[in-house]
Structure 1
């Protein structure tokens, strides 16, 4: 999938010279958590997000400062924090030069970008123009589509059975002695599988096969760390060491 397939095309923007009070009202009215900031020519110059309001003088969350700390951090950084915490215009509070992506960017690339940079919003660009925005909620909506479409179960249980076997084939956690039965879309699994993630992976793989209604788990679970008795078939152990003789070894 591409960025353009899940992005929100109706983008609410704000001008950099706008009062932050107006920007906040716009965010609340449209139920959005981020506003791209564009200048008079339509060029993207920043983004205003909920996180930009974490440190504000109005609610007493601004950074505590003292003269020594200001010297250590540098006057420029201290001044920048003061502007962001007390600024009245969008351009004083926004995050400048936001990270962006293109319409044709693979969705995997966008997800990696948002995860790596810890972003909640990524403006989507066509050249130097913003044409959309992707938020984490857009990913939720994208996932919901395929899940909702997984309906209309097939009555061809044999086809489902073959699909389950194909889904598990070659997996390092495939159950030993796997036996798969399907009836009316319900998959019954038999075999031996290791406990923990391997067991969970088998169930999830089956649940993701098209036309599977449910999974009946009859797998035998092999402990992740078997007891020593399990390695030797259990039971008591008899030492084969010969006891030292208490008799005189000298011949009669």
Structure 2
């Protein structure tokens, strides 16, 4: 899937001269965590988020004043901090040169950016113009739609078994010996020996995600390589 399939179109936005109070009211009223900031020509010049408003003098969260040494050596930085915690307009608190997505980007690319940069939403630009916003909530909606699909693929027991074996063969972490798999009436039976609970969970995941599977029975035995003790992995 790509961004154009899940993004929110006709996204709300503000301008640099929008007041901080109005930006906060818009976010609260529309249950969004951030807003793109557009100049008069409609070009994206920034993003203002809840995070940008965490440090504010009005509610006593601006932090401790800079020491005299920092003020002496880095006056511009101290002045910028003052603007961020006291400015009455979005231009003073917004994040400049924001990261953005494009409609053809994959959801995988967007998710990686969000995780790596610790951000919740991205403006979506097409030909330099704002065409929407893609958020973590949009990704969750896409995930939910996939998880609740009610059209299980019709597969024979042999096809299910072949799929599971093929997936295990491709996984470099998976046990390649000591694991027995059988399928009857679309129910998978997992038996044999594994050497970590993480491996057990991952093998069960492969079985559960095999197209056509209705249930998975885990009878694998976990053997601790350190102690030599063995016990049922599901205990």
Question: Which TM-score applies when normalising by structure 2?
Answer: 0.87
Q: CA deviation at 1:150?
A: 5.5
1:75 aligned residue: 75
SS in 2 for 1:41: coil
SS in 2 for 1:218: strand
- 8 Å contact kept, 1:150–1:210: no
1:183 aligned residue: 184
Q: CA deviation at 1:189?
A: 0.9
For structure 2, the residue ranges without an aligned partner over 5 or more in a row are 231-235
User: What CA deviation, in whole Å up to 9, does each residue of 1:18-47 have, x standing for no partner?
Assistant: 111111111111111111011121111111
- 8 Å contact kept, 1:175–1:192: no
Q: CA deviation at 1:156?
A: 3.1
Number of aligned residue pairs: 229
In 1: Cα distance, 2:163 partner to 2:40 partner? 56
1:14 aligned residue: 14
Question: Which TM-score applies when normalising by structure 1?
Answer: 0.82
2:224 aligned residue: 223
- 8 Å contact kept, 2:13–2:38: yes
1:123 aligned residue: 123
In 2: Cα distance, 1:124 partner to 1:163 partner? 37
- 8 Å contact kept, 1:153–1:185: no
Mean CA deviation greater in 185-194 or 41-50: 185-194
Q: Structure 1 residues 62 and 69, CA, compared in 2 at 3 Å: closer, same or farther?
A: farther
Mean CA deviation greater in 34-43 or 58-67: 58-67
User: What CA deviation, in whole Å up to 9, does each residue of 1:34-90 have, x standing for no partner?
Assistant: 110111211111111000111001110112114514435611111111111111111
1:91 aligned residue: 91
Q: Structure 1 residues 222 and 175, CA, compared in 2 at 3 Å: closer, same or farther?
A: farther
In 1: Cα distance, 2:163 partner to 2:89 partner? 58
Q: Which has the larger radius of gyration?
A: 1
Q: Structure 1 residues 78 and 43, CA, compared in 2 at 3 Å: closer, same or farther?
A: same
Mean CA deviation greater in 135-144 or 70-79: 70-79
Q: CA deviation at 1:206?
A: 1.0
In 2: Cα distance, 1:212 partner to 1:87 partner? 58
1:245 aligned residue: none
Q: Structure 1 residues 66 and 11, CA, compared in 2 at 3 Å: closer, same or farther?
A: closer
Give 4+ residue runs of structure 1 displaced > 6 Å after superposition.
none
Q: CA deviation at 1:175?
A: 5.2
Q: Structure 1 residues 205 and 143, CA, compared in 2 at 3 Å: closer, same or farther?
A: same
User: What CA deviation, in whole Å up to 9, does each residue of 1:145-180 have, x standing for no partner?
Assistant: 221116446473333222222222343423524332
Is 2:55 the counterpart of 1:51? no
In 1: Cα distance, 2:75 partner to 2:21 partner? 28
